[in-house]
Amino acid sequence: MKKLLIVDDAAFMRLTIRNIMNNYDIEIVGEAANGAIGVEMYKEFRPDVVTMDVTMPEMTGVEALKKIKAFDPQAKVIMVSSMGQERMVKEAIRSGAKTFIVKPFKEEFLYQTIYNVLGV
What's residue 87's pLDDT?
81
What is the full DSSP assignment across 64-97?
HHHHHHHH-TT--EEEEE-TT-HHHHHHHHHTT-
What's residue 25's pLDDT?
87
Higher pLDDT, 104 or 15: 15
- Computed over every residue of the chain, the mean pLDDT equals 93
- Contact 47/4 with Cβ under 8 angstroms? yes
Q: What is the pTM of this model?
A: 0.94
CATH homologous superfamily of 2-118 equals Response regulator (3.40.50.2300)
What's residue 10's pLDDT?
95
Per residue in 51-94, pLDDT tens?
999 989 999 999 999 999 999 999 999 999 886 667 888 899 99
